[in-house]
Amino acid sequence: MSIQWFPGHMTSARKKAAETMEFIDVVIEVLDARAPEASCNPMIRELREHRQRPCLKILNKADLADPAVTQAWLDFYNRQAGVKAVALSCKSASDAAKVPRLCQPLAPHRDSTLKPLRMMIMGIPNVGKSTLMNMLLKRRVANVGDEPAVTKSQQCHSLNERMTLTDSPGLMWPKIEHPGDGLMLAAIHAIGRNAVIEEEIAEHLAGTLLARYPAQLGARFNLDVAGLDGIGVIEAVARKRGCLLKGKGGEPDLEKAAMILLTEYRAGKLGRISLETPETREAMLKQAQDIT
């Protein structure tokens, strides 16, 4: 299944981001800690590298991700030139408050009222950019919702007389190269529902859980997962939760069960689960290279 999602407003958002990049000092890129590279927009990297801007990568929703895997990703990113990576939860006021202090060393020459530090928050939809903006400003200035692409225009605000902060709309890129990335992005709800078939996303998620977190999957739904495949998990969830189609002899309602699995995963009810590791990422890229 190849998933593509590039709403029309993102073309103008990308153009505006490229223009703004000239006048900022540090890019704050918000990623989803459960799938950091899948949620890392290559267009953002191209824009900031073109302007030679340093980057603070925030692995947001770290409270939902496997802590050992998150640490591996932090090590991966902190080896990159011009990059500082940190794991946190943008819903936490104390976590959010760390962000300006982490940005300052990346642009030490911008630290006065005459030369304020100019930061811009970037990332794909629904990773927590607006939540971070509101936390930093201690008031609601950006709309927050559990749907991708809530923010559609840039906003610039003063944090204090020495710092400014620009929020930008969630940016996807025109073509998701690796099908696995599209599936992970759909699983973490970074892609609009109109672009996906949720049963297929849930089947892929179930397969990942069976391979890497079978105990947590079994415990949440009171299942014996031995011998199950992805679709078998969805069928079992349907029966456990009473999702049966009326008038069809107790046939499982796979659509409803798929939404239960996706919703409970996204809410962290299955525990702290990451969808990719640096090693699985490397293997995926190597497989793609071998195919081509």
For residue 160, what are the β-bridge partners? 163
100 located within any domain: yes
In this prediction the pTM is 0.89
Is 151 a residue whose pLDDT tops 60? no
pLDDT (mean) for 116-120: 95
Task: Tell me the pLDDT band of 18, cut-offs 50, 70 and 90.
Answer: confident
Report the CATH number at residue 271: 1.10.1580.10
* Mean pLDDT, all residues of the chain: 90
What pLDDT does residue 3 have? 65
pLDDT (mean) for 189-196: 79
Question: Of the ranges 76-85, 89-98, 120-129, 167-176, which one carries the lowest mean pLDDT score?
Answer: 167-176
Are 150 and 205 found together in one domain?
no
The whole-angstrom separation of Cα 126 and Cα 185 is: 10
Q: Which domain holds residue 202?
A: 197-291
152 located within any domain: yes
The tens digit of pLDDT for each residue in 44-60 reads 999 999 999 999 999 99
274 located within any domain: yes
281 located within any domain: yes
Are 46 and 156 found together in one domain?
yes
For residue 85, what are the β-bridge partners? 57
176 located within any domain: no
Are 157 and 27 found together in one domain?
yes
For the chain, count helices (H), then strands (E).
12, 6
